[in-house]
Structure 1
Amino acid sequence: MPTETILYIILAGIVALLLALFQYKFKVKSMSKQYMLFTFLRFITIFSVLLLLINPKFEQLKLTTVKPKLLVAVDNSNSIVQLKQDDNAKKALKSIRSNSELNEKFNIEYYTFGTTLNVTDSLTFSEKQTDVSSALEALQDIYKDEVAPTILITDGNQTFGTDYEFSSYKQPVYPIILGDTTTYVDLSIRQLNVNKYAYLKNKFPVETILVYNGKETVNTTFTVTAGKQTVYSKNITFSSTQNSEVLQFTLPANHVGLSAYKAHLKPLETEKNTANNIKNFAVEVIDETMNIAIISSYYHPDLGMLKKSIESNEQRSVSILKPSEIKSKLNDFHLVILYQPNNQFKFIFDAIKTENRNAFIISGVQTDWFFLNNQTKAYEHDITPQTEIYQGVFNTNYATFIVDDLDFESFPPLLSTFGEVTFFTPFETLLYKKYGNLTTEQPLLATFEADGRREALLLGENLWQWRAQSFINKKSFNTFDNFMGKLVQYLASTKRKTRLVVDFESFYEGVNNVVIKAQFFNKNYEFDGRETLQIKLKNKETGEETELPFVLKNNNYQVDLSHLLASEYEFTVKASNENISKSGTFTILEYNVEQQFLNANVTKLNQLANKTSGKSYLLSSYDSIFNDLISNKKYATIQKSTKTTLGLIDWKYVLGIIVFCLSLEWFIRKYYGLT
């Protein structure tokens, strides 16, 4: 406490005493015990009031003990069951939970992981894929500023994501390795690559990688069948030195629609795991391709990105042309993308109006808005020499077609001409402009339909950066390419809008989420979230029928069918309140990547433990992990001190003393009849 405050308190005591003595001493000639009590009570009252006015500060030291964290992450994927290690995983988890010394030293927090990290210790072993790296990254984000050694109970087999062997995880990892470490003789189809689409009467390429694990020379046969018909076959010999084979061949596309195939590598008599000898795949055969033209008067990275993104769907072919090169070819294309148009595009706009064609216009700092404003009656943009950058904000109420938010706010801003755009026709905003921290009502990407044609307007260049950021976010270009594909599909279509739209794939791999989406529109073609949609499914092989409701999510209805068995299904989506329905078929391919493993990946788990200064343990000796963690002095309980400064005015009992003294003095005076 400062010296100045102490002096004030002493002075307050003197003043309080003088005032109390003046109140009672000088009014009577002699001090009785009664008046001495009054003087004391008045002194306490005045002194307490003066103390509250001075409000001295007191420092309070609070000591707390903080135990280190211990993270337990258990592999909840289906490979644990395939390796018959589910009971061992549960036993290891139970041992950790029941070890009193370990629980006394650590605050233990439990997680499971498969595709993602989950806060739970409930084990189902139903996850269809394993991403160890993603689980470690999530734990790193949560406990980046804490001491948190990690026990990883897993077989170490990862099916997708970044290789965890190269993880930058900062905490020590102590893997408990589930699975047999013995090496068995095994044949497997390691990988099979095939395009999703093929064109009628053409041949489509197939590439497969076959792997042998063993020392003796063996003979086997690789076949591909379509139903009961064998469409490809080859005899293969493996040895200890020739332990892999890459086959490249072509198959004919003879009929339109979905064609399902089964690749089979004949197993050896002594082979333990035969599930990895089979891979199912499918190809959708189409009889025509969609031709799209990107027209630009100058070169820009966006052009190549758009071509790459759109052509990720084999049904689409993209040509990049200058305005002068398309005069005689315009009728060859289903859609034209006009990149930063200027007066060189005059005849193209005339043709679009004459033939009532759809278009996608992308503007930027090179766009001639004097020209563009004169070419359309649908909108008009302010004309300024200034430029600005805008981020995109997804409109969750967008209902023209089904599209998902790609986390657009994490994408780099697009470069655009400063100013507002005014629409003279009804339009739907897909992305709003965001300037700094301000989200505006101005569209960055909008779609509209007028005079029987469809058009989209994007107000910004450097779209290539969005695709790159999407890859950083998702470790894949697929999400961005699907977004562009849906936009192009909407613009290229000439079909009249229907009130019930169902979005689904022709076939799904067994490891992927089988999600069907739908939109329902009222009679004015406005999205209606009040309708109840039901889907009726029929398994064509077994005849079993299932009916499930759709769930409303943002601007569409969704139903998750990931629980279905691999088979061919026909379905009907029906609106409950109106006589509107849509039907279709899809196929779920039989493939479980978690069944492809024979034993634990000991090598990678050992490398992870060594890299993070941890230690790995086999099932036969994992009990020693408890002594190692308990005796490790790096994981010590820390005593933390917290110093707080508290003013006297915050101490409520001082007010209680004042009230008590005044009340007691008043009561005694009244009792003795004093005024």
Structure 2
Amino acid sequence: MQTQTILLIIAAFITALIVALFQYWYKTKNRKKNILFFAFLRFLSVFALLLLLINPTFKQKTYYIEKPALVVAVDNSSSIKYLKQDQKVTQFVNQITDNKELNERFDIAYYSFSDKLNDSLHFSFDQKQTNISKALEELEQIHKNTIAPTIVITDGNQTYGKDYQFSSIGYKQAVYPIISGDTIKVLDTKIQQLNVNRYAYLKNKFPVEVILTYSGNEEITTTFRVKSGSNTIFSQPVSFSRTNNSTVVNFTLSASTVGVNQYVAELVPLDIEKNTINNSKTFAVEVIDQKTNVLLISDIVHPDLGAIKKSVESNERRSITISKPNENKELDDYQLVILYQPNTRYRAVYEKLNTLKKNYFTITGPKTDWVFLNRIQNKYTQEITRQNEYYVPRYNTNYGAFLQEDIGFQGYPPLIGTFGEIRMNSNHDPLLYRTISNIDTDEMLLATIEQGGIREAVLFGEGIWRWRAQSYLDTQKFEDFDEFFGKLIQYLASNKRKSRLNTISESFYYGNASVIIKAEYFTKNYEFDRRGNLRISIKNKETEATQTIPMLLKNNSYEVDLSNLDAGNYDYTVTVLGENIARSGSFAILEYDVEQQFLNADVTKLKQVATNTNGKSYYLNQKDTLIKELLEDQRYQIVQKNKENVVSLIDWKYLLAIVILLLTIEWFARKYNGLI
């Protein structure tokens, strides 16, 4: 307590004493015996009130016990069940839960993980993907400020993500892998990996690459073949030995039928193999009969041209040609024309576009001749200032021409455009607005126009190559930007009439991937409608079993996750309740469970994780040894800590009650003695 506060308390004591004596001693002529009692009550009440005004603070120490945390993370993927370890794992966790000594020593936290981490003790062992590296990273974030040894019960078989054997080097907690699964190596042949393009073009050949592996000591010979239905369309004998335990088979197949063509790759299993599921793999290729051809016309050399080319050709169904405006190109050979920073040399190009009623995409910038552009078309005009400005994009959440999500546009670098007001003279749908010097405006940066059966988009700025680079810096991949640009190209290259209900789905999905179907629903004014009540009906073509599921609103679309469907061919219909609108489609789910490709636990990697983190690996039958070593490890001690709190007197509510009680007693006592 500070000296100043002590002096104030002394002053309050003296003041309260003076007030009490003045009222009951100095001013009272008839001093009865109970006058001192009244003075004492008044002194206490005044002193208490003055203390509340001074509000002194006191330090209060509390002591508590802090246990170290013990994290128990259980692999909930289907490989645990496939390797027949699910009951053993459940029993192991129950024994940990019921151990009294462990619970007295540690605060035990239970998690399950597959492709994501869950705070749960519920184990279904049916998840189709495993990411051990991601689980360790998230556990480190959760327990970064505590001592938390981590028990990871897993077979060590990871299907995607970073290699946890190396990413665990930076893990700050000791990891104790509990190895579940058979550790004895047995003879096995398998298709390790199959690489094929998702799309092919009619009457072309598409390449397929297959990696085959073998574990065993004997020399063997078997056959690799590919079937389409009941027909074998490719076959090749393969030989393996202890030293030659892998081979790569490259071949091509003919794309002769339009649509989704399914194939089965099979490595004929040996009679003594235990696991034959990993000897076959289903794959599919969608054969299309044409490619979207895009023409990019530019009179200058700019990094944007390379970024546009990369984005357009990131999808094999599209190709792009770059030319100058004075080169004679048959525009009818292209579904879309991109005009980059037009000037007077583009006059003939615009005349051809108007004659052919061709869709086009205009990109403007500092090199654009706006005097020419304002004259050659009448859909928009730019104020002529001959000055440049930097424009940061801002996403329009109400954009409805096609389905697009915000991919972090406001974090993208600014584009360089012409300073001045833009006037739109036609019906338009803004996708991106301009933000200038951190001030949000309603001026367009990117807009789409649909008029007279012609679709056009206009981007008022150069420098989208920086957007593509920023997308890579943000996500370590170009996919977000390329998908955004691809949707814009797809919209412009199509002449399909605008519909109030659109659906988006892939023609086929692999069994280990998410099956997501999206829909966009618009009002009669073609504004996105968040009030829609959408349902999707799914029908299995083979069994004719049907089910109806509501679609959930997410950002600017409605979507449904159908990942729980079995492999097969399906038809679907999306309807809007209360509206006579429906859209139909079909898709296929290819049978493939990556978790069933494993035959043994990955002992080597799990032991390396233990070494990297100063932990130790165990097997499921070594529970007692694990518990004993955890209890005896001096790194995990119960710690007594104290916490010092600064408490203000005004927070002590009882003091106010005492003041009220003292004043009440004084009033009743004076009333009783006839002093009031």
TM-score (structure 1 length as normaliser): 0.93
Structure 1 residue 389: Cα displacement: 5.1
The CA distance in 2 between the partners of 1:229 and 1:596, in whole Å, is: 25
Q: Check the 8 A contact 1:392/1:413 in 2, yes or no.
A: no
Instruction: Give the alignment partner of residue 208 of structure 1, picking from 191, 207, 210.
Output: 210
Pairwise mapping of residues 372-521 of structure 1 onto structure 2 (< 5 A)?
372-381=373-382, 383=385, 385-388=387-390, 390-393=392-395, 395-409=396-410, 411=412, 414=415, 421-433=422-434, 440-471=441-472, 474=475, 476-521=477-522
Q: Check the 8 A contact 1:390/1:416 in 2, yes or no.
A: no
Is 1:56 aligned to residue 56 of structure 2?
yes
Q: Closer, same or farther in 2 for the Cα pair 1:125/1:663, shift >3 Å?
A: same
Structure 1 residue 338: Cα displacement: 2.9
- Deviation digits for residues 505-538 of structure 1 (CA, Å, limit 9, x no counterpart): 1111111111222223344433344444333333
Q: Closer, same or farther in 2 for the Cα pair 1:117/1:373, shift >3 Å?
A: farther
Structure 1 residue 186: Cα displacement: 0.8
The CA distance in 1 between the partners of 2:474 and 2:96, in whole Å, is: 35
**Amino acid in the other structure paired with 2:212:** L
* Worse-superposed segment, 138-147 or 407-416: 407-416
Structure 1 residue 249: Cα displacement: 0.8
- Deviation digits for residues 21-57 of structure 1 (CA, Å, limit 9, x no counterpart): 1222223467543001011111112222322333222
**Amino acid in the other structure paired with 2:162:** T
The CA distance in 1 between the partners of 2:476 and 2:80, in whole Å, is: 26
The CA distance in 2 between the partners of 1:36 and 1:392, in whole Å, is: 78
The CA distance in 2 between the partners of 1:413 and 1:66, in whole Å, is: 51
Aligned-residue Cα RMSD (Å) equals 2.6
Structure 1 residue 392: Cα displacement: 4.1
Three-state SS of the structure 2 residue aligned to 1:139 is helix
Three-state SS of the structure 2 residue aligned to 1:158 is coil
Q: Check the 8 A contact 1:514/1:561 in 2, yes or no.
A: yes
Instruction: Give the alignment partner of residue 239 of structure 1, picking from 241, 249, 255.
Output: 241
The CA distance in 1 between the partners of 2:478 and 2:171, in whole Å, is: 25
Pairwise mapping of residues 99-498 of structure 1 onto structure 2 (< 5 A)?
99-167=99-167, 168-325=170-327, 327-364=328-365, 366-381=367-382, 383=385, 385-388=387-390, 390-393=392-395, 395-409=396-410, 411=412, 414=415, 421-433=422-434, 440-471=441-472, 474=475, 476-498=477-499
Q: Closer, same or farther in 2 for the Cα pair 1:20/1:523, shift >3 Å?
A: closer
The CA distance in 1 between the partners of 2:174 and 2:340, in whole Å, is: 52
Q: Which runs of 5+ in 2 are unaligned?
A: none
- Deviation digits for residues 465-495 of structure 1 (CA, Å, limit 9, x no counterpart): 4445545655554444333322211110011
Structure 1 residue 161: Cα displacement: 1.4
The CA distance in 2 between the partners of 1:426 and 1:374, in whole Å, is: 19
Q: Closer, same or farther in 2 for the Cα pair 1:150/1:426, shift >3 Å?
A: farther
The alignment-based identity, stated in percent, is: 52
The CA distance in 1 between the partners of 2:107 and 2:64, in whole Å, is: 15
- How many positions carry a matched residue from both structures? 673
Q: Check the 8 A contact 2:149/2:175 in 1, yes or no.
A: yes
Partner of 1:657: 658
Q: Check the 8 A contact 2:400/2:526 in 1, yes or no.
A: no
Structure 1 residue 598: Cα displacement: 0.5
Q: Check the 8 A contact 1:390/1:415 in 2, yes or no.
A: no
Q: Check the 8 A contact 1:531/1:577 in 2, yes or no.
A: no
The CA distance in 1 between the partners of 2:516 and 2:346, in whole Å, is: 42
Q: Check the 8 A contact 2:216/2:241 in 1, yes or no.
A: yes
Q: Check the 8 A contact 1:398/1:430 in 2, yes or no.
A: yes
Three-state SS of the structure 1 residue aligned to 2:352 is helix
**Amino acid in the other structure paired with 2:80:** I
Partner of 2:554: 553
The CA distance in 1 between the partners of 2:640 and 2:366, in whole Å, is: 60
The CA distance in 1 between the partners of 2:79 and 2:629, in whole Å, is: 28
Partner of 2:15: 15
Partner of 1:2: 2
**Amino acid in the other structure paired with 2:152:** L
* Worse-superposed segment, 531-540 or 217-226: 531-540
Partner of 2:613: 612
Three-state SS of the structure 2 residue aligned to 1:362 is strand
Partner of 1:668: 669
Q: Closer, same or farther in 2 for the Cα pair 1:61/1:457, shift >3 Å?
A: farther
Three-state SS of the structure 2 residue aligned to 1:305 is helix
Is 1:82 aligned to residue 82 of structure 2?
yes
Q: Check the 8 A contact 2:405/2:555 in 1, yes or no.
A: no
Q: Check the 8 A contact 1:205/1:250 in 2, yes or no.
A: yes
* Worse-superposed segment, 447-456 or 574-583: 574-583
Q: Closer, same or farther in 2 for the Cα pair 1:635/1:351, shift >3 Å?
A: farther
**Amino acid in the other structure paired with 2:51:** L
Q: Closer, same or farther in 2 for the Cα pair 1:556/1:5, shift >3 Å?
A: closer
Partner of 2:537: 536
Q: Check the 8 A contact 2:392/2:410 in 1, yes or no.
A: no
**Amino acid in the other structure paired with 2:453:** G
Three-state SS of the structure 1 residue aligned to 2:404 is coil
* Worse-superposed segment, 599-608 or 564-573: 564-573
Q: Closer, same or farther in 2 for the Cα pair 1:449/1:470, shift >3 Å?
A: same
Q: Closer, same or farther in 2 for the Cα pair 1:171/1:417, shift >3 Å?
A: farther
Partner of 1:92: 92
Three-state SS of the structure 1 residue aligned to 2:569 is strand
The CA distance in 1 between the partners of 2:366 and 2:147, in whole Å, is: 51
**Amino acid in the other structure paired with 1:657:** I
Partner of 2:33: 33
**Amino acid in the other structure paired with 1:279:** K
Structure 1 residue 175: Cα displacement: 1.2
The CA distance in 1 between the partners of 2:394 and 2:268, in whole Å, is: 53
Structure 1 residue 345: Cα displacement: 3.7
Q: Closer, same or farther in 2 for the Cα pair 1:130/1:318, shift >3 Å?
A: same
Q: Check the 8 A contact 1:365/1:387 in 2, yes or no.
A: no
Is 1:595 aligned to residue 592 of structure 2?
no
Three-state SS of the structure 1 residue aligned to 2:13 is helix
Q: Check the 8 A contact 1:537/1:546 in 2, yes or no.
A: yes
The CA distance in 1 between the partners of 2:303 and 2:600, in whole Å, is: 47
The CA distance in 2 between the partners of 1:90 and 1:436, in whole Å, is: 59
Structure 1 residue 420: Cα displacement: 5.7
Is 1:629 aligned to residue 637 of structure 2?
no
Q: Which runs of 5+ in 1 are unaligned?
A: none
* Worse-superposed segment, 290-299 or 362-371: 362-371
The CA distance in 2 between the partners of 1:160 and 1:413, in whole Å, is: 35
Structure 1 residue 497: Cα displacement: 1.4
